[in-house]
Amino acid sequence: MTEIAPEHRPTFSKASLGDRLSPHAPVLLLLALAALGWLAIDQNSSWLTLTVSGLAMGMMIFTMAAGMTLVFGLMDVINFGHGAFVSVGAFVGVTALMLMPGMTAEASIWLNGFAILLAVACAMLATGVMGYAFERVIVRPVYGAHLKQILVTMGGLIVVEQLIYVIWGPVEIFIERPAAFQGAVTFAGAALEKYRLVAVALGLIVFLALRLTLKRTRIGLIVRAGVENGEMVQALGYRIERVFIGVFVAGSALAGLGGVMWGLYEQVITAHMGQETMILVFIVIIIGGLGSVEGCFIAALMVGLLQNYVAFLAPKVALISNIGLMAAILMWRPQGMTPVVKAK
């Protein structure tokens, strides 16, 4: 007698529509936010201008926040001094640009682009070295003690701000963007600032490079494994301390890059600019999910878009709009949109 094999259906086919869409919910939420902005803003040209501005702002916030979310996910370190790297990066980068007036005054996209790349390289080198010293002297003695981490990293931030006052002075420094990146281009009736388009492109490059590094390289695999289960990585013979240092230095360098971008965006730099941007950085990290680069990226874009849309529609509400977004996301997903699952 022939037995009939039981019918098997893939588990995915039994999943509800909500379960199938759940992994893509953060991206869908970002698209929904852009669509709501389009419906709320009467003119398409205004919506396009605000969208590009929001994307540029989001890309810069992501650049500053990406390193910090990895540091927290891998090292379990709450670094309230992260803003110091943003400020130092901005001052070093802008100083480098000021030393190249011949390359920035001429409206040549190649010369101006090369000058910005040199300034970015100087800023990332300076903040990378600073990050190495910061980790060895300030962070390493307080591993595992969160309250002490908050206190000593805040103290480090204050010290760095005072050093900026000593080296560059207490006054604000106003800067001009390189000539080729001043002004705007017109597209579909909307005026799009050239620098904001550059910021969007540069932020996208940083995200893709970071994602490829984490997904396709051996060091990226070790970092991701360390975020999820550091003890396992150490048991396999890898020196997790070196991974800690590498991630901290890379995160500090990315913060320096973000500082240069933000300084050119605002066209003014101050010693406490890093401390001011930390509010947005913490919101992005919490919304995205601690340790998640993809979540950090999507959250940064959401924060940038929402801030620009609300500032246009209801300026008085703009200051609390991101706090409201964070509260709503945490009520929906208390661990953030795409949290990294750590081994118990």
In the chain, alpha helices (H): 11-14, 17-21, 25-40, 44-75, 82-98, 101-105, 109-134, 146-168, 194-216, 218-228, 230-235, 240-266, 273-288, 293-313, 318-332
Max Cα-Cα span within the chain:
93
Q: Residue 251 pLDDT more than 70?
A: yes
Q: What are phi and psi of 231, to 5 degrees?
A: -65, -35
Query: For position 344, what pLDDT does the model report?
Result: 46
User: Which pLDDT score, from 0 to 100, does residue 59 have?
Assistant: 92
> Rounded to whole angstroms, how far apart are CA atoms 300 and 280?
8
**Strand duo 268-269 + 190-193: pairing:** unpaired
Across 189-218, average pLDDT: 87
Least Cα distance to 83 among 207, 199, 252, 218 occurs for 252
Lowest mean pLDDT among 41-50, 56-65, 201-210: 41-50
Whole-structure pTM value: 0.86
Residue 328 makes CB contacts below 8 A (sequence gap 6+) with none
Percent of the chain at pLDDT exceeding 90: 22
* pLDDT in the model for residue 57: 92
Segment 17-48, tens digit of pLDDT? 666 766 677 888 888 888 998 888 888 888 88
C-alpha span between 119 and 114 (Å, rounded): 9
Percent of the chain with pLDDT over 70: 90
Instruction: Output 105 or 40, whichever has higher pLDDT.
Output: 40
Which structure tokens are listed for 283?
């919101």
Whether the predicted pLDDT of 190 surpasses 60: yes
Pairing of strands 173-174, 184-187: unpaired
pLDDT band at 5 (very low <50, low <70, confident <90, very high): low
The token duo for 187 is 């597209």
Cα–Cα distance for residue pair 9/127, rounded to 1 Å: 54
- Please give the average per-residue pLDDT across 158-183, as a whole number: 87
- Above 80 in pLDDT, residue 252? yes
Whether 67 contacts 131, CB under 8 Å: no
Amino acid occupying residue 283: I
Rg (CA), the chain: 22
What's the token pair of residue 239?
Answer: 């020196």
**For all residues of the chain together, what is the average pLDDT?**
84
Q: Which residue has the higher pLDDT, 110 or 1?
A: 110
pLDDT of residue 343: 46
Q: In 3-state terms, what secondary structure has residue 290?
A: coil
- What whole-number distance in Å separates Cα of residue 68 and Cα of residue 280? 12
Residue 2 DSSP one-character state: P
Q: What is the mean pLDDT of residues 256-269?
A: 90
Q: Quote the CA–CA distance of 57 and 175 in Å, as a whole number.
A: 18
Q: Which residue has the tokens 């190495």?
A: 132
Residue 6: per-residue pLDDT: 57
Q: Residues 89, 92, 95, 99: what is their CA dihedral angle, to the nearest 10 degrees?
A: -120
Rounded CA separation 210/62 (Å): 11
